Structure 1
Amino acid sequence: MNLNPTDAGTRRTKIIVTLGPATESEDMLENIIRAGADIIRLNMAHAKHDWTRAIIRRIRAVSQRINREVAIMMDIKGPEIRTGDVNAPIELKSGEIFDFTIQPRPIQEGSEGIRSVDINYKDLVNDVKVGDTVLVDNGLIRLEVLEKNNAQIRCRVLIPGELKSRRHINLPGVRVNLPSFTEKDRGDATVGIEEGVDFIALSFVREASDIETLREFIEDQGSTAHIIAKIEDQSAIANLEGIIAATDALMVARGDLGIECPFEDLPIIQRNAVRACIAKGKPVIIATHMLESMITQPMPTRAEISDVANAVFEQADCVMLSGETTIGKYPVDCIQILDKIARRIEQTIVPDPAIDVELRQERMKVIRSAVTMAGDFPGARLLTFTRQGFMARGVAALRPRAPVVAFTPHIGTLRQLRILRSVEGILMPFESNPDDTIDRAIAHLKLTRQVAAGDKLIIVTDILSHDRLVDSVQLRTVR
């Protein structure tokens, strides 16, 4: 049963697509943008700068050619602990004693007959304590710290597995004193800023000060890129409110988060993060393993369909694809499936009275009145006019029943609107008289057949009154 009919042509939940070998060609870029990608993510964990510059320019060129501007997110790696190289995979056995060495030494076996591998973070011996858990390779291998000294951390293997070169290490509950914004991140972010990326995602954010460090760097470079904080460990969960307040958007990065936190807590963390972001008026992204089986299979599992649907039911702003579109066999199909699931679930969503958005600014109260009015007119649309995106972000935060059309004169703002749930951005110069701008916008919507005679438009904007701009809400009927 359709509980809340919406415009069939409007998908409210935005789709983020990670670029990789499967999707980086010009033809595939066009295909994924036409299929509905809103934001293209560049994972800088292994990306080279020459590739990054070339691919950003390719994305811009394709977007312009097909007249659909997408945003670009640069996802910088952040602090990371990895094992070193091994000559051949090490088959760890349950109960085996194994060393993580701080100073590189001949790999595989020490003088005591104990096998080992070096790690890239020499101060780890100061961060861990006896009894701590060490997880390797996305948690597939589990060890317990038995003892440590300046040269090594001695562990017992609890869950065995095959250890290969450069595997990622997680330390649940351990505060690691690595910098949040590394030298590699600075180099990568500089390239992104020079090429005009719209978002920079910071990995392993632990507290608000991590975001402030990155923001200072971005502003010093003269960039207007927005920050996306990725929450991936227990420190982030403990400091969630401060992180949300400091960032421009939040990503629930369920990969490392599901390793660092008890897996049964993950759905609760996701739900709480989404609600907290809505309350603070910040966009929120649900990421990792959305359609993981489609890396190799043409259809998702039923569990994956329900997982995507749950993110849409929670009214997250975006869902994100990773391996599905970097190395997967069916990248375009993945986008089309996300699109289909989102549209169907959105038809059933009714406003949730349990979600209480904080309205600290007077302008937000004006926006709420517009959202309430739009909900009283079936089939109505909300129109906003924004130079920097504030008005559109305010409307999106209130999760309106009506779809939102946001007009802006700035292409950078247009791209950053791509992250907002329910918001469709349109690039249009503003007139000196606000009324003329509104008339021009309505004429555009009529010309493109997005509205027809008799449709109701709720317009939230500023108007000229006695030589000053005043926030206003208007009800207009298309003639």
Structure 2
Amino acid sequence: MEQLQKRKTRIIATLGPATDSEEKIGELIARGVDIFRFNMSHGSPDWIRRTSAFVRAQSRRFGRSVGLLLDTQGPAIRTGDLANRLELHPGDIFTFTVRGDPSVDERSVSVNYDDLAQDLRVGDVVLVDNGVIQMKVLEKQGFRVRCEVVTPGVMGSRRHINLPGVRVNLPPLTKKDLQDIDLGVECQMDYFALSFVREANDVDLLRQILIARGSKAIIVAKIEDQAAVQNLPQILDAADAIMIARGDLGIECPFEELPIIQRRIVKSCLQKMKPVIVATHLLESMTQNPVPTRAEITDIANAVYEQADALMLSGETAAGRYPLECVSVLDRVIRRTERSGGAGYAAFAELTEDQQKLASAAVHLADQVRAAAICVFTRQGKLAAVVAGLRPRYSPIYALSGEEDLCGRLLLRYGTEPIPSRYPMTQEEGISLAEEELRKRGAISSGDKVILLSEVPLRGERARSVVFYQVE
């Protein structure tokens, strides 16, 4: 029955004004949220500290791990302040200025990026306010860029600017980002999402910073412009996980390419057994309406069919009118779609190490016997990660670890429930521990088949093993 089905796809919810109370956070957890996102474009340090503490408290209340994800603002290009909003029409001339250079044009605004004129070329496209206003560069005059308005819109203060296909000279981490990362380490975030990743070196820089601060957090590289799409193989090797950030990505790339890009990224992640998150506009209409559109339902179902590890809600839960209902809708659609099967991209996973081949054998066995559970005793999470990456068809994965912080980092893994547990010294002890934990959760009963993976002492060394047994 559906209510007994264990959901495999993770739900990430962004916290904000609509959901910043401890009570609301508890209700979101009850409805199925696995990881909470803190969008560092909004929210003060005190708010982050207070709200992350709420999440930890409610996690203990429900007796299950709930993850924390800090999403950096990144090096965004934005317009400056305007005394009055400006209505723009096709054919109007509009000027962007940098470095305080005064403009002779009545319709103009400053920009926070000093090298704008240097990076742009005549004929380039400038998109403002999430692509609502489109312009074309006509000429550059010193520190000014004169553009022709292509689509109508209203220019306001501090609007986001996208430059599709333009290589910008921005640092991967701003001063604000570095301060936010320190805050995230202080609050023991499990995940750090790096915005506007352009190349693998950007990820490497964040990893060096986290290591220096003693954090083992997972690095999620956000793919949201053309450079990131082009450099995906190298970024995928450097990062621990990928987020398909469809908001900016859908602006930076032709919108008809977006579904193709999404599918290609998901397939690449499953091939490398790296977690992948599909984000943005999953239930955008529900920020104002109590029910979703049919197109949104189909979009969610497609991401679940592709077997993404997680789906992420942004404004829907941060500022929308129906945050709880959004989580319930997402949970309901995920469960139903998972029952219909998946695309099978995990069949192309690259298995190069003995550990990966052992996990593959265990997953194949679990599929053949329809095991009630796959239990993995893990110290670093690598064995559990491989099992999750191979997408078992029927069996939920239980990752047992003595490292409490590891449990939080495993939450993003498809179909994996982390369980705090000591590590067994023998196979017999492993079976006993696993069975005790699974019975406690009502996950197994007499006659069920269980697959157990672990490292056990063998002739004074450690050897990986697979145990298949039936519950008495």
Q: Please give the TM-score of this superposition, normalised by the length of structure 1.
A: 0.96
- Provide the rounded CA distance (Å) in 1 between the counterparts of 2:203 and 2:274: 14
Distance 2:144 2:331 in 1: 50
The equivalent position to 2:128 in structure 1, one of 129, 132, 136, is 136
Shift of 1:94: 1.0
User: Which position in structure 2 is the counterpart of 1:10?
Assistant: 6
Residue 178 of structure 2: aligned partner: 186
Tell me if the contact between 2:79 and 2:112 (Cα under 8 Å) persists in the aligned partners: yes
Where in structure 2 are the equivalents of 1:22-171 lying within 5 Å?
22-104=18-100, 110-111=103-104, 113-171=105-163
Mapping for residues 4-403 of structure 1, pairs under 5 Å: 8-104=4-100, 110-111=103-104, 113-350=105-342, 352=344, 355-401=347-393, 402-403=395-396
Q: 2:442 aligns with which of 449, 463, 468?
A: 449
Alignment RMSD, CA only? 1.5
CA contact (8 A) 1:383 1:457 kept: yes
User: Which residue number in structure 1 is paired with residue 403 of structure 2?
Assistant: 410
Deviations 1:94-136 (A, max 9, x none): 1111100113367xxx44x442100001111111111100000
**What is the distance in 2 between the residues matched to 1:338 and 1:354?**
23
Per-residue deviation, 1:255: 0.2
Of the structure 1 ranges 295-304 and 5-14, higher mean CA displacement relative to structure 2 is found in 5-14
Deviation track 1:356-383 (CA, whole Å, cap 9, x = no partner) reads 0001111000000000000111243211
Moved more, 121-130 or 168-177: 121-130
Contact 1:455 1:477 in 2 (8 A): yes
**Counterpart contact for 2:81–2:157, Cα < 8 Å:** yes
Shift of 1:71: 0.4
Counterpart-to-counterpart distance in 2, 1:375 and 1:262: 40
- State the 1:180 CA deviation: 0.7
- The 1:172–1:211 alpha-carbon spacing in structure 2 relative to 1, beyond 3 Å, is same
- Paired with 2:301 and 2:147, the residues of 1 have a C-alpha distance of 41
Equivalent residue letter for 1:329: R
Give aligned pairs, total. Answer: 471
Would you say the 8 A contact 2:306–2:342 is kept in 1? no
Between stretches 397-406 and 281-290, larger displacement belongs to 397-406
Which residue of structure 2 lines up, in the alignment, with residue 464 of structure 1?
457
* SS of alignment partner, residue 153 of structure 1: strand
- Tell me the distance in 1 between the aligned counterparts of 2:77 and 2:179: 19
8 Å CA contact 1:275–1:355 kept in 2: the answer is: no
Code of the residue aligned with 1:319 in structure 2: it is L
CA shift digits 1:142-174 (9 cap, x unpaired):
111111133211111111210111000000000
**Inter-CA distance 295–463: structure 2 relative to 1 (3 Å threshold):** same
Q: What are the superposed Cα offsets for residues 439-461 of structure 1, whole Å, 9 maximum, x if unpaired?
A: 11212212332100110001121
Equivalents in 1 of 2:371, 2:382: separation in Å?
24
Which moves more between the two structures, 356-365 or 149-158?
Answer: 149-158
| 1:398-445 deviation digits (Å, cap 9, x = unpaired) | 111121111111111111111011111111122444531331121221
Runs of 4+ more than 6 Å apart:
none
Q: CA–CA distance in 2 between the matches of 1:389 and 1:432?
A: 18
What SS is found at the alignment partner of 1:204?
coil
Shift of 1:6: 9.2
Amino acid at match of 1:43: N
Contact kept in structure 2, 1:7 and 1:379, CA below 8 Å? no
TM-score w.r.t. the length of structure 2 is 0.97
CA distance, structure 1, for counterparts of residue 192 and residue 441 of structure 2:
33
Specify every segment of 5 or more residues in structure 1 that has no aligned partner in the other structure, as ranges: none
Contact residue 295 and residue 330 of structure 1 kept, 8 A: yes
Structure 1: which amino acid aligns with 2:218?
H
CA distance in 2: counterparts of 1:195 and 1:424, whole angstroms: 23
1:376-402 CA-to-partner distances (Å, cap 9, x unmatched) read 112432111112211110001111112
Deviations 1:277-325 (CA, angstroms, capped at 9, x unpaired):
0000100000000000000111100000000000000000000000100
What SS does structure 1 have at the residue aligned with 2:68?
strand
% same residue: 47
2:411 counterpart SS class: helix
Give the counterpart letter for 1:53 in structure 2.
Answer: R
**In the alignment, which residue of structure 2 is the partner of 1:429?**
422
Q: Secondary structure at the match of 1:47?
A: coil
Distance between the aligned counterparts of 1:252 and 1:351, measured in 2? 18
